[in-house]
Structure 1
Amino acid sequence: MLINYATLFGLIAVAIVLFPGFLVVDRWWRERIYELSGKVILITGGSRGLGLVMARQLAETGARVAICARDEAELERARTELEQRGGDIFALTCDVTEQTQVEQLVQQTRDHFGAIDILINNAGTDIVGPLENLTMQDYDDLMKLHFWAPLYTTYAVLPEMQARKAGRIVNISSVGGKMASPHMVGYCASKFALVGLSEGMRTELAKDGIAVTTVCPGLIHTGVVDHAIMKGQNRKEYAWFSIGDSLPFLSASAEKVSRATIAGLRRGAAEVIVPFPTWLSVKFYGLFPELSTNLFGLFNQLLPKPGGMGEKRAFGKDSHSALAPSWLTYLSDRAAERNNERPVTEPKGTTDVKQVGAVEENLTQRSASKKPEKQLEADRVQGLEPAIVEDEQSAFPFINVSQAPPEVQTCLSDIQDTLGIPWKPANWRAYAMYPTVMQLFWQRLKPATQAESFLEDAIAITEQVYRDTYDWYQPGYQIDVDEAQRRHIQRELGAFSFGNPQLLIQQIALSKVLAGEIVGQDGKTEIRRGPHAYRHPEIQFIGEQSAQEVSTELQRVYQDLKQTLGVPFVNSDYQALAHWSDFFIAAWEDIKRWRDRPEFELLKQAIIQRAEEAASRLRPAVVIGEQEVRDLLENPEDFEQIQQKVQLFNDVLPELIIQNALFHQGLTVDQSALSEPS
């Protein structure tokens, strides 16, 4: 048989030349024939960062998008933004590491939108630190979030997808799932597990018409670094991690990674690795694993040594230093503002799956229904109904003091008189939703708060804050208040500066005893002497409903306060200052800019540390058993809600203590030295 080798070689050469073109055309075609409009897409971890960016881009295609996260306030901000952009959004609180909640999440999404067409497993976190400082709990937490959570969600959506012979699943892993990096061993181990799960599922589910895509992005400046967990020398760990996340050319924006992910989803790609330097690194690692790991070993010599905090955890936001944040982290810092990464709050496990933004039943009825039947009957006999006030948008309940039962009013007045403060504190009004629990808390804390040492510790915190803020805060606004108004504002600020450190020490003590600790030391107690420094007639407040009547600008600032501080209510401090709205609004806008300063975060941590030390010295010791509290509650879930309320005020009080000092400084600064506000 005569073979024309010249012709054969020519055909082979033409095929080689045309093959890349065929690949490009095939890729282009597959991305366009898969229509996203009308598809139901579930994104875990969709409230911020990459998940939020993907939700934005998918909503723009006409897809119906369900997002979930643990933090309800964060989720609500994301939902509001996405709906304002015209998206069809369904937002649910869910802890994806809990299989029961995942099944509820999928069922509620299905009930709302219909069958789920696309699942994107995006929820994740980082734990950064040397091997010696990692614990078994760290590994377990990462495996639950990066391996078990995607497994739960996948198994929850699979039956319907298999029945329809159609579906797409996208697993957001990481370059850390392809090549192991030092000081991220637990993270990499869990992401390697996800890659194996994802690739294995692709091979088995292809027969059912289900395409599984594994996404392994490299460094992304999403702004997530403040949410990452640091261990060991946390400030140094945060510095290299956050700077690496912001490196131009080597890192990519969340928008770029999202576009690449969605393109891979549409064509049913097996794998997406972005940006190009990351793709190149992964291929090099695959070809030369020994050389690559040896190079990583050299890099490890440059990283912080074990020590510092040891096995304790700190958020990135609590690990700032002179190096980071700085101009070196500009890309990440800018992305944090854009992608709902701030404020950073302590993540809490949600106890149920519920829609965010839905119109709920009347709160008074819900609260009343939790009371024991005997108590409800007694209330009806006495003509008492639950006296509750709330912000309609946040549904955060407080007792209305003027309409509260006599025993609640007596307890709140005793707290006010003992602490020497001219207002009923918001935290205690929140605990008053459970009157017997509030009375137990106060009964145990009161002897400690009457001690002279308690007052001394609180004053020491105040002095430290005032001293330190004067070192770095420079007000950038002008005010126009007369001398009488200035004195009045200063007096009210003084009351809050006097009271908030006392409340913080109480809060920390409560959080510790609810966790099973015995706080303080038994011994002699020196009772406070002398008059209370700031005892004067009740401070007048402008509540959230009243703010709507005052002005739309004040209402906007109230909403901004809640969003910025990450709390579902406006605290008494701000409701008092709102009487001088021109000063209050200008000062708040200025202070908000300064909250991102490293000095602010460092001072906040110093306050917490000092308050924790004060709580450990309380005399007499404070003991409250968990079972003791649970026995007072009709609904067992209320214990977790009380814990969350305690932690919420733990988080916000240090902010208020600093900001009261900054407001005070704005009043005392030489206004003539300021330029006109821009």
Structure 2
Amino acid sequence: MQINYDSLWRLIAFAIALLPVFVLLDRWWRERIYNLQGKTILITGGSRGLGLVMARQLIDAGARLAICARDAAELERAQTELGQRGGEVLALTCDVTDQAQVEQMVQQVLDRFRAIDILINNAGTDIVGPVETLTMQDYDDMMKLHFWAPLYTMYAVLPQMRQLKNGRIVNISSIGGKLASPHMVGYCASKFALVGLSEGMRTELALDGIAVTTVCPGFIRTGVVDHAVIKGQHRKEFAWFSIGDSLPLISASAEKVARATIAGLRRGATEVIVPLPTWFSVKFYALFPGLSTNLFGLVNRFLPEPGGIGKERAFGKDSHSAWSPSWLTYLSNRAARRNNELPVTEPKGTTEVKQVGTDNKRSPQPTLAEDKQSGFPLIDPSQAPPEVQACFNDIQNTLGIPWKPANWRAYGMFPTVMQLFWQRLKRATQTESFLEDAIALNEQVYQDVNDWYQPSYQIDVDRAAQRQIQRELNAFSFGNPQLLIQQIALSKTLAGEVVGQDGNADMRGGSHAYRHPEIQLIGEQEAREISTKMQSVYRDIKQTLGVPIVNSDYQALAHWSDFFIVAWEDIKLWRERPEYQLLKQAIVQRAENAASRLSPAVVIGESEVRDLLDNPEDFQQIQQTVQMFTDILPELMIQDALFYLGLAGVQPAIAH
């Protein structure tokens, strides 16, 4: 028999070429046939970060959730958000490093839902520092959380999964479980242990119809960095770690990792490594372990040496510096607001398993315009003490804006601190140079936006309404640059930096501002009364921008809902453009330069602010409030310009 080798080789080449197609079709098919609708899923560490992002996506897919964490306040915020998406959520306090609590927690989930179809072991933390600073307790804590805790939960759910001959288990490990990074030895050792446990369990449990998936992501932008444990020269260690966690080419968004994890869960994948650069890094390490470790040794030469606080522990929130948080960590900072990572209340714990969200909630105090659940309560100016109202009026008159800014209403929760802030800033904001900087920021935004924005909508708005919308946008367009410069100045001075120089500055001869009667704002309750669509838009704004409040700009524009809703949908699309992110960075840089030129000097330190507080721990709340508004104001400046340019294309209605 004569063999035609040419035909044989062509057949083999054709089969090899088709192999990736068959693999992709197989993946696609297995993901489609596994339906999450009605499945009960237990997520450890589900109150924030990646766990919360996965919970959102699973709720949207129709699953029922049980989430656990140590912090009851975090859990309650997460449960409230997830409940608003229409899902059934059970939230339980539990320390997953305590086997008795884990077994009790799992039993409560089974009592509520009868079965646990999917277990996602997500709870974890980071510890960063050179090996000289690590103690046996550090290694023990990492192993308890990353190895023993997943083992406890797996053993707790296995009996009923085995009985049903069905189940899925997902263990969230890390790239640190595949290759060892310098200054993260304790973390990597525990994640390596989890990878071994997870892969071993997969081989053992396949006979019982249970699929175990190991997930090894690289840096994820969840906003978790302020919760990390930092040792040694903690500010320098936090800087490299948090910047790496935020840079787009190095890190992946939590949403992307969550989607990849859920896709892997649905197809019963052995392993999920995401994003693609992480996958290549893992494969390179597997092929060339010697070369890889040598390269890591070279990197280690550039990392901070031992010293600083030594073996003592600091959290990320206690390790801030001029490098971080900064524009380099913008994406991570934004993720922290979106993913319930704020406020940071470490260390925390729980001694019992308890369902949250069942107690009667206390009504907010009458002086609050936003409830305390938001984490950034705002004082109601109409019910504020006289001295606070007087301060608000002075701020309005000095800045020349017709509304009471949300940031100052947040500081109004601490009246003495607000008065200190304003006392230091007032003379600076009255100068001609301050006004010129604010105008220059405005001009930059409008010029740059005009170069690339093309609105995709046209709405009938009569000329009177169009003029009124323009007047309101003018007010916010003028006010937001002033507020941004103030925010950056406060952020710098809270860190103990000296902003500006003492000296004589030309004071403004008048208001020089765009003024008109008080702007009428529409609160969330009023938005609900307009339409269910408006209510969902308010919720969408908060989620998209990562802020716990709907800003004054949107509360004013909501008077014209036909224009506002369509324009917001258009703006969301344009937010994804690279020009948008670049413009925000340019705005912040110019505002930082302007803040540095403030005259006279604005000097406020942590100790000075703490001395004015009844509870010194509230200093962290103030820092977070300042940072939140610093981050969101560049967004609002660009969006005000987008609204304005979109309004220019509106077709006036013809009167009949």
**Shared fold, TM over 0.5:** yes
What is the 5 A alignment of 1:60-99?
Answer: 65-68=66-69, 76=77, 80-81=81-82, 86-90=87-91
Equivalent residue in structure 2 for 1:254, among 257, 261, 281: 261
Q: Is the aligned partner of 1:430 residue 2:410?
A: yes
Aligned pairs for 1:285-364 (under 5 A) are: 291-294=288-291, 349-350=344-345, 361-364=361-364
Question: 1:151 is aligned with what amino acid?
Answer: K
Match of 1:496 among 456, 476, 499: 476
Instruction: Pick the aligned partner of 1:217 from 202, 215, 228.
Output: 215
Q: Is the 8 A contact 2:68 2:75 kept in 1?
A: no
Given candidates 593, 607, 617, the residue that maps to 1:637 is: 617
1:570, CA displacement in angstroms?
1.2
Q: Distance in 2 between matches of 1:228 and 1:164?
A: 28
2:70–2:93 CA contact under 8 A, matched in 1: yes
1:313 and 1:525, CA in 2 relative to 1: closer, same or farther beyond 3 A? closer
Contact 1:119 1:154 in 2 (8 A): no
Change (3 A) 1:297 1:465: farther
**Contact 2:442–2:477 (CA<8 Å) still a contact in 1?**
yes
Counterpart contact for 1:173–1:214, Cα < 8 Å: no
Q: Tell me whether 1:122 sits opposite 2:122 in the alignment.
A: yes
Q: Write out aligned runs for 1:32-431 (5 A).
A: 41-44=42-45, 47=48, 49=50, 52-53=53-54, 65-68=66-69, 76=77, 80-81=81-82, 86-90=87-91, 121-123=121-123, 136=129, 148=141, 151-152=144-145, 171-179=171-179, 190-196=187-193, 216-217=214-215, 224=220, 238-239=248-249, 253-259=260-266, 273-274=271-272, 291-294=288-291, 349-350=344-345, 361-365=361-365, 387-390=367-370, 394=374, 396-431=376-411
- Provide Cα deviations, 1:421-446, integer angstroms capped at 9, x if missing partner: 01111111121122112111111111
1:555 aligns with 535
Of 563, 571, 583, the residue aligned with 2:563 is 583
Aligned equivalents of 1:650 and 1:231: distance in 2?
22
Return the offset for 1:627: 2.3
* Alpha-carbon distance in structure 2 between the residues aligned to 1:587 and 1:187: 46
Match of 1:616 in 2: 596
Between stretches 105-114 and 648-657, larger displacement belongs to 105-114
What does residue range 515-594 of structure 1 map to in structure 2 within 5 Å? 515-594=495-574
Distance 1:242 1:279 in 2: 10
Where 1:662 maps in the other structure, the secondary structure is helix
For 2:629 and 2:282, the matched residues in 1 are separated by 49
Q: Tell me if structure 2 keeps the 8 A contact 1:40–1:115.
A: no
One of 632, 636, 645 as aligned partner of 1:652? 632
Contact 1:318 1:602 in 2 (8 A): no
Alignment partners' CA distance in 2, 1:314 and 1:146: 31
Q: Partner letter of residue 172 of structure 1?
A: I
Deviation at 1:415, TM superposition (A): 0.4
Structure 1 residue 194: Cα displacement: 2.3
Which one-letter code corresponds to 1:409 in the other structure? Q
Contact map agreement 1:495 1:534 (CA 8 A) in 2: yes
Q: Which amino acid aligns with 2:484?
A: L
Deviations 1:204-254 (A, max 9, x none): xxxxxxxxx99643569xx956869996998997347669x999xxx9932
Q: Return the letter of the residue paired with 2:191.
A: L
Q: Which runs of 5+ in 2 are unaligned?
A: 1-37, 162-168, 201-210, 226-238, 304-320
1:210: which partner in 2?
none
Moved more, 488-497 or 477-486: 477-486
| Matched residue SS, 1:399 | coil
Residues 145 and 416 from structure 1, CA distance in 2 versus in 1: closer, same or farther, beyond 3 angstroms? farther
Unaligned runs of 5+ in 1: 1-36, 128-134, 204-212, 265-271, 321-339, 366-385, 673-678
Are residues 452 and 92 of structure 1, via their aligned partners in 2, closer, same or farther at CA, if it must alter by over 3 Å? farther
* Contact 1:234-1:314 within 8 A present in 2 as well: no
Identity over aligned pairs, percent: 47
Q: What count of residue pairs does the alignment treat as equivalent?
A: 553
Could you state the TM-score of these two structures normalised by the residue count of structure 2?
A: 0.67
For residues 452 and 410 of structure 1, the distance between their equivalents in structure 2, rounded to whole angstroms, comes to 24
Shift of 1:362: 3.0
Letter in 2 for 1:65: A
Q: Within 2, Cα distance between the matches of 1:104 and 1:625?
A: 46
- Judge conservation of contact 1:138–1:186 (CA < 8 Å) in 2: yes
For residues 139 and 610 of structure 1, the distance between their equivalents in structure 2, rounded to whole angstroms, comes to 41
Q: How far off is 1:122 after superposition?
A: 2.2
Of 625-634 and 436-445, the range deviating more from structure 2: 625-634
Equivalent residue number for residue 669 of structure 1:
649
Matched, 1:607 2:587: yes
Structure-1-length-normalised TM-score: 0.65
Name the CA shift for 1:238/1:170 in 2 (closer, same or farther; >3 Å).
closer
On the 8 A contact 1:76/1:356 being kept in 2, the answer is no
SS in 1 for 2:248: helix
Query: Which residue in 1 is equivalent to 2:316?
Result: none
Residue 538 of structure 2 aligns to a residue in which SS?
A: helix
Coordinate RMSD, CA, aligned: 5.7
Q: Given that residues 228 and 316 in structure 1 are in contact (C-alpha distance below 8 angstroms), is that contact kept between their aligned partners in structure 2?
A: no
